[in-house]
Amino acid sequence: MARIVIVGNGMVSYKLCEKLVEKNSSASITVIGEEPRPAYDRVHLSAYFEDENADKLTMAPKDWYNGNGINLITSEKVSQINREEQYVTTHTNAKYEYDYLVLATGSSAFVPPIKGVEKKGVFVYRTIEDLEMMMAYGKKASSAAVLGGGLLGLEAAKAAIDMNLKTSVVEFAPRLMPRQIDEEGGLLLKNKMEDLGIDILLGKATSNIEGEEEMTGMAFSDGTSLDVDMLIISAGIRPRDELGKEAGLEVAERGGFVVNSLMQTSDEKIFAVGECASYENMIYGLVAPGYDMAEVVAEQIANDNKEYTFTGCDMSTKLKLIGVDVASFGDPFCDNIPHYPISINDKKNGIYKRINVDLEGKKLLGGILIGDADDYNMLHQMFINEMALPPHPQDLIIKSSGEEGGAGMGVDALPDTAQVCSCENVSKGDICCSIKDDGVTDINGIKAATKAGTGCGGCLPMVNNILEDTLASMGTVVRKEICEHFPYTRQEMFDLIKVNEIKSYTELLEKYGSGGGCETCKPLVGSLLASIWNDLILKESTIQDTNDRFLANIQKGGSYSVVPRIPGGEITPDKLIVIGEVAKEFDLYTKITGGQRIDLFGARLNDLPLIWERLVDAGFESGHAYGKSLRTVKSCVGSTWCRFGLHDSVGFAIEVENRYKGLRSPHKLKGGVSGCIRECAEARGKDFGIIATEKGWNLYVGGNGGANPKHAVLLAGDIDKETVIKYLDRYLMFYIKTAEPLQRTAPWQEKLEGGIDYLKQVICEDSLGIGEQLENDMKILIAHYTCEWKAAINDPEMRKRFTHFSNDDSHDPTQKFKRERGQRFPVAW
């Protein structure tokens, strides 16, 4: 059993332990750290100011180390390495033998050699202990200066502000964050910091820290000075490499143990990871590269794998500095690379964005975002994956009005290999897998399964987009709860009702809901109950919208309109006469509808059963014009009469309309059948359109008129009638099961990831293996069809409901009509 000794107990050290445990390494592990507590999250150190709760920052408690058989030794400093005999000794003279030694000693704050730096009131910003000392001292101070205007310096400035101190930031360079952002960006950031009450002093070299025992101010080389009670030094980091010098390990010029791509130091038994390692003369002061290094070492120790190597790391970063978004990626400056910069500088809203595009306009080289870094994830991915740019790269940073999210491209454009979470090195493919294969459906599930988003959290918006996108591509509707009474999506409600054989709204509310329901969930459940059981909707009529409650369409003045079914628009003269007679008797306004039927307006509630008695007697059935259900299947005259017609479109339309009549769906459904390509039935403007071809029929799906007209798209071509019916059964049932409330087929189809190609797979190739089930579900619905009006007029209890007053037989006396063009009109409201 190999003995591993890890020196240092920071974030990277912890990550190495975690990876070794995950990889089931049999090694015996000893971690020796000089700090008194187990590893904690230094990235979010300033959060300690908010609640002084060190536990929240802890990566893992001592129990975790014990539970995994790791020997954690805290408050113990390794003072010597004996390379010959392979052991280390600590300051208490304890001795630990190793087969492999991992140096994860991290870095300390760089303290520049300024006169007076030893005075009281001068601090570094590095550990929880540093913070505790600062806070204690800050209680008697009224002002603080931060030396260093880099990333960490501005974090420290936030800490000082949180301590209610008048705060100044002193930077040697002529701008803030000189390594990450350019001049214009720096200027904007300076303005933002000043708005927050932080003084920014640029181009200042500190020559002396003044005061006696306690500091009282700073003097600068230009002769100016600053009166200040305390100083927080955040001028960079210095690798903790002192152990190596004595032991004769090679140390880089600017500090740090020199390592190769396997993280081996000049002694192959000794690795170095994190901020104490110098790879190709570079110290990586971010956590993500450190984690990557830990993976390289863990692979060697646990799996003897020397193929996985460290090859440097992208230093892109995004963070919120005192509430201001700051991000940079790739090469933010491109000082020596030919490029076109594209930038916007919106001083009014405090937003600066710059992207660097190569001369051919094909690739992103880097960029800077300040004030609004929403596009960071997408831009960063485009950079890393060398994705092709859109024709107008400026669209990437300029949001056109009314459009959400700039970057013009969706997460679906990302390759599976794209690294989404750089802290934990999780790719888009890993996330998609956890959703598709492991059935994860929410962010927390993804965090648990892949660790994505558990580091800095910056990738979470993108992870969420991938989640929604992937769920949608699977035909799953992204969680949209119905209303306050039911914490479920429409699809979940569908399953609840079906699996538990729920037959009424009241039962569902009792078992799965809360409160007294509302005008949103009641009709929705009514529709679902009808879609699943095709039971009479009149049984629980008060959950229905007024149209479904009274089986007619409410119009101005409280009267209703009546639409008898005329399948395919074909009607006998005798039936036409009956409609005419009924209209005359009840003084109804008549109009031909767009769906080839006749609408009778102005019927009073009390008259509805009388009108329908006459219509049902003549062989009419309900036209369901009032319901979210199949309306009409429009047809052209077809081959029977038309010299161009290829097949009998009217006959087919009648067959299809009769098949699906009464079918309740998330929204209304319309169909059309045309006898040839001239398309006189306008079938492609319907939810489903069937058009005759020489060889059979083309089936189109997902069209509609209305505010956003859409042509239906081809689902299958040149198929016979039986196949048309089979595919339609599957298509409609799939829609009914998975659409959102009041979503018509066109938007539903558009939101299905993979669109029509995916639909073709599900419907025609049965890729989900649900074809037969969908057909059977449809069969059950068809078998349960009854004409609602026939049932209503034959049931005295149901008939009783069709009165305006429960204590009087009269019509609503406030209804007012007038006559125009020979018919009765309602008076305008």
Partner 1 sequence: MTFEHNTLDQVTTWVKAGHVSDFPEDGGSSILYKDQQIAVFNFTTINKWFATQNLCPHKKQMILARGIIGTQGEEQTPKVACPYHKKTFSLETGENLNGCEDSITTFPIKIEDDTVFVGLVEEK
Binding mask 442-481 for partner 1 (x = CB under 8 A): ----------------------------------------
Closest distance between partner 1 and the C-beta of residue 347, in Å? 39
Closest distance between partner 1 and the C-beta of residue 538, in Å? 11
One of 83, 399, 614, 804 touching partner 1 (CB under 8 A): 804
3-state secondary structure at position 40: strand
Please, which of residues 736-775 interact with partner 1 by CB under 8 A?
none
One of 679, 812, 817, 823 touching partner 1 (CB under 8 A): 812
Cβ nearer to partner 1, comparing 336 with 806: 806
Closest distance between partner 1 and the C-beta of residue 558, in Å? 6
Cβ nearer to partner 1, comparing 503 with 721: 503
Q: Does 336 bind partner 1 (CB under 8 A)?
A: no
Q: Does 504 bind partner 1 (CB under 8 A)?
A: no
| Cα–Cα dist 523/530, whole Å | 10
| Contact yes or no for 46/159 (Cβ under 8 A) | yes
Closest distance between partner 1 and the C-beta of residue 371, in Å? 36
Binding mask 170-199 for partner 1 (x = CB under 8 A): ------------------------------
| Cα–Cα dist 426/314, whole Å | 15
| Contact yes or no for 771/727 (Cβ under 8 A) | no
**Torsion angle defined by CA atoms of residues 237, 242, 244 and 245, in that order, rounded to the nearest 10 degrees:** 120
Closest distance between partner 1 and the C-beta of residue 820, in Å? 21
Lookup: tokens for 669: 């459904």
Closest distance between partner 1 and the C-beta of residue 545, in Å? 7
| Cα–Cα dist 702/590, whole Å | 30
One of 197, 402, 516, 769 touching partner 1 (CB under 8 A): 516
Q: Does 606 bind partner 1 (CB under 8 A)?
A: no
Binding mask 526-565 for partner 1 (x = CB under 8 A): ---------------xxxxxx--xx---x-xxx-------
| Cα–Cα dist 135/217, whole Å | 19
One of 338, 391, 439, 813 touching partner 1 (CB under 8 A): 813
Q: Which of 48, 170, 33 is nearest to 96 (CA)?
A: 33
Lookup: tokens for 242: 């002192």
One of 805, 816, 819, 827 touching partner 1 (CB under 8 A): 805
Applying CB under 8 A, the site for partner 1 has a residue count of 37
One of 146, 170, 226, 509 touching partner 1 (CB under 8 A): 509
* C-alpha distances in Å from residue 670, one per residue of 688, 723, 819: 7, 19, 33
Q: Which of 780, 740, 759 is nearest to 531 (CA)?
A: 780
| Contact yes or no for 370/326 (Cβ under 8 A) | yes
Closest distance between partner 1 and the C-beta of residue 559, in Å? 10
Q: Does 398 bind partner 1 (CB under 8 A)?
A: no
Pairing of strands 270-272, 100-103: parallel
One of 517, 567, 675, 689 touching partner 1 (CB under 8 A): 517
Neighbour tally for 541: CB within 10 Å:
17
Cβ nearer to partner 1, comparing 614 with 811: 811
Cβ nearer to partner 1, comparing 532 with 605: 605
One of 202, 219, 432, 518 touching partner 1 (CB under 8 A): 518
Q: Does 26 bind partner 1 (CB under 8 A)?
A: no
Contact segment (CB under 8 A) with partner 1 among 307-315, 338-346, 784-792, 812-820 equals 812-820
For 497-523, letters b (16+ CB in 10 Å) and e give: beeeebebbebbbeebbeeebeeebbb
3-state secondary structure at position 590: strand
> Mind giving me the DSSP string for 608-664?
HHHHHHHHHHTT--B--TTSSBEEEEEE--GGGT-SS--S-HHHHHHHHHHHHTT-B
Lookup: tokens for 731: 């298509």
Closest distance between partner 1 and the C-beta of residue 524, in Å? 11
3-state secondary structure at position 207: strand
* C-alpha distances in Å from residue 61, one per residue of 66, 131, 447, 624: 9, 21, 19, 65
One of 307, 574, 821, 829 touching partner 1 (CB under 8 A): 829
Q: Does 796 bind partner 1 (CB under 8 A)?
A: no
Tokens 């020596």 belong to 336
| Cα–Cα dist 461/447, whole Å | 13
What residue type is 351 in one-letter code?
A: I
Q: Which residues bind partner 1 (CB under 8 A)?
A: 484-485, 506, 509, 515-519, 521-523, 541-546, 549-550, 554, 556-558, 801, 803-808, 810, 812-815, 829
